[in-house]
Chain A
Amino acid sequence: MVIARKVDTDRLPSTVARPAARLGLSYIWVAYIAFGLAAIAGMVQGMVRGGIMELPSWTNYYQILTAHGVLMALIFTTFFIVGFLLTGVARTTGGSLHKTALGWGWAGWILMVVGTLMAVVTILMNEASVLYTFYAPLKASPFFYIGAALLVVGSWFAGFAVFASYRKWKKENPGKISPLFVFMSVTTFVMWIIATLPVAVEVIFQLIPWSLGISPTINIMLSRTLFWFFGHPLVYFWLMPAYIAWYVCVPRIIGGHVFSDSLSRLAFILLLLFSIPVGFHHQLMEPGISAGWKMIHVTLTLIVVIPSLMTAFSMFAIFETTGRKKGGIGLFGWLKKLPWTDVRFFAPFVGMLFFIPGGAGGIINASNQINAVVHNTIWVTGHFHITVGAAVALTFFGVSFWLIPVLTGRTLTRTANRMGMVQTVFWAVGMFLMSFAMHTMGLSGAPRRTDYTTYMDHPTALGWMDYQRVMAFGGGLLFVAAILLILILVYLTFYAPKGYTEYPIGETEKEQQVPRLLERWPVWIGLVAFLIVMAYGYPIMEQIHHQAPGSPPFKTW
């Protein structure tokens, strides 16, 4: 097996220049430090819920759950995504980032690190056990919210770094369509910045003054609506970078080609349009929003099936065309020709498999009536562990196995590759067991976000206990996989042999025509704004004008 494949280096910048590489590596390592801490918390939660261990008196379940949710879902993901996209943009726009982009990138890193430290310290001091959704009226220390705001603003700066590189590339290549990786990164950050504006408003104008005691009460409905305006696109902020790896990097890794340039871009535009005006699908059980508006959001939500199935189709098509070219025959014979022993392919592929039940579960969650079956049960936790915890995370691991060597000028050795395969299998089996148990328990009513309890030995709750233990066992496997991953990544950062590693960027087989319209940002941003105003304008106005009595803060822990 060839791991560091030779590329036609005369045409492609072979690697990422030092300054950009150092920046990327700094983001990625903060991501993995957060990941490691969060993995400990995750395992502990599983053990506690399974009745296998009890927490010491100086901590409590909800403190650990907050640490896990914040560190995994907010810190690990955001830092990794910025590191991946910035280096990919560098790689595809000439191999480096210019001064302006580097400046934004580092400023963003500093803000994000300071924000992370503030949030983590307040959580450790037990001043912020508000879970990663920081729903009012649970009140955290103001420093927790200020930290969250810094994290968000820092990520905007990272977005500005991407935009600056894009603008520079455009200026140097007038009239040309941008590289696919750059286009997708720009789309992702446009989506992210629009989506995070309202949560910034919630944090700065509602939560911080209320937490400081300046305003005695808070408008709960409004704060939740602003949160989910951001909360759903947040999952697309995790997913789109994974899709970038799938659409752009995986084809190159398996020795194939990008299936269709236009289809890939269109899928991203659809994600940009339909990931924001849909937040009420998280508030289907909320009494303060009328059924009609919920229906509009549900309808818009289900449109996301289109880009998702476009992605599924593209992935199969990439695999089939590549496999057939290598001699695969029959209906599924091409599957055998894929590079199964190359972890750079295997890890994201397993992630894709997890995304199939993940997508199916998402449609169930978003369906107004049957949301009642799963709402706030641990089914939901199972759902996002197979989507973000498996599909996205395995893709990020797969990327890390080549990205870290690219950035450190080292190589992914045969042994490291093999360890990566073992790591992937452990993670996949652990996630499968844990999520399967979570889904099953959820369908029979087990709530999420609860410490160990047998509900006074109620027979239904006792029936969950076997599944709770399966969940704990899965968590144990996941923890082993997490440790193994960190060890491999330390090796790749500091010890692996020096050498050339390719930053895999796929291209289409033949030149393809790409509609110019796809890159007319004012059109798409205008459409996003239109959809947002249509879906949110009236409900938000109503929540401000006819507000229920506000709530004072509560500290329940």
Chain B
Amino acid sequence: METQTNSPEKKKGHKQTGPQTEQENLKGTFAAVLIVGGIILLSWFGVFGLFLERA
């Protein structure tokens, strides 16, 4: 795909382009988005339960 670097005026010594090389630790981020997903599902099924109860 045709790409472009985002901050061309920056002339840093280490010209690092492409995908990041060293692996960043994002375990906490993964856990956090799972929690968010869980909250969404719990509340959705909660209200869906109310709907079924009243239907």
Chain A interfacial positions (CB closer than 8 Å to B): 11, 175-177, 180, 261, 309, 312-313, 316-317, 319-321, 324, 331-332, 334-335, 356-357, 359-361, 363-364, 367, 369-370, 372-374, 443, 507-508, 510-517
Interface secondary structure of A, over-half rule? helix
Cβ 8 A contact of A373, one of B26, B33, B47: B47
Check A515–B3 contact: CB distance below 8 A: yes
Q: With A312-B33, A360-B44 in contact, is A512–B6 under 8 Å at CB?
A: yes
Check B29–A313 contact: CB distance below 8 A: yes
B8 to chain A: closest CB distance in Å?
A: 6
Residue numbers in A under 8 Å from B1 (CB-CB): 515-517
Cβ 8 A contact of A370, one of B31, B39, B51: B51
Q: With A361-B43, A443-B47 in contact, is A309–B33 under 8 Å at CB?
A: yes
Provide the bound-state CA to CA distance between A434 and B47, in Å. 20
Residue numbers in A under 8 Å from B5 (CB-CB): 177, 511-514
Shortest 9 CB-CB contacts between residues of A and residues of B:
A513-B3, A316-B29, A360-B43, A510-B16, A316-B32, A360-B40, A261-B6, A177-B4, A511-B5
Residue numbers in B under 8 Å from A335 (CB-CB): 28
Provide the bound-state CA to CA distance between A194 and B31, in Å. 38
Chain A proximity mask over B35-55: 1 for CB below 8 Å, otherwise 0 = 011011001100110110010
What is the size, in residues, of chain B's interface with A at 8 Å between Cβ atoms? 37
Tell me the total A-B contact number using a CB cutoff of 8 A.
114
Q: With A508-B7, A510-B20, A514-B6 in contact, is A317–B50 under 8 Å at CB?
A: no
Residue numbers in A under 8 Å from B33 (CB-CB): 309, 312-313, 316
Residue numbers in A under 8 Å from B40 (CB-CB): 359-360, 363
Provide the bound-state CA to CA distance between A316 and B33, in Å. 8
A178 nearest CB neighbor, chain B only: B6
Residue numbers in B under 8 Å from A514 (CB-CB): 3-6
Cβ 8 A contact of A321, one of B12, B24, B50: B24
Selected A-B contacts with CB under 8 Å, 27 pairs = A309-B37, A312-B36, A316-B28, A316-B32, A316-B33, A319-B29, A320-B25, A320-B28, A331-B28, A332-B28, A334-B28, A357-B43, A360-B44, A363-B44, A364-B43, A367-B48, A369-B48, A369-B51, A370-B51, A373-B54, A507-B7, A511-B8, A512-B6, A513-B4, A513-B6, A515-B3, A517-B1
Residue numbers in A under 8 Å from B51 (CB-CB): 369-370, 372-373
Provide the bound-state CA to CA distance between A313 and B44, in Å. 21
Residue numbers in A under 8 Å from B47 (CB-CB): 364, 370, 373-374, 443
Cβ 8 A contact of B6, one of A316, A332, A357, A511: A511
B22 to chain A: closest CB distance in Å?
A: 11
Check B36–A356 contact: CB distance below 8 A: yes
Provide the bound-state CA to CA distance between A152 and B12, in Å. 45
Check A511–B16 contact: CB distance below 8 A: yes
Residue numbers in B under 8 Å from A356 (CB-CB): 36, 39
Cβ 8 A contact of B17, one of A175, A507, A513: A513
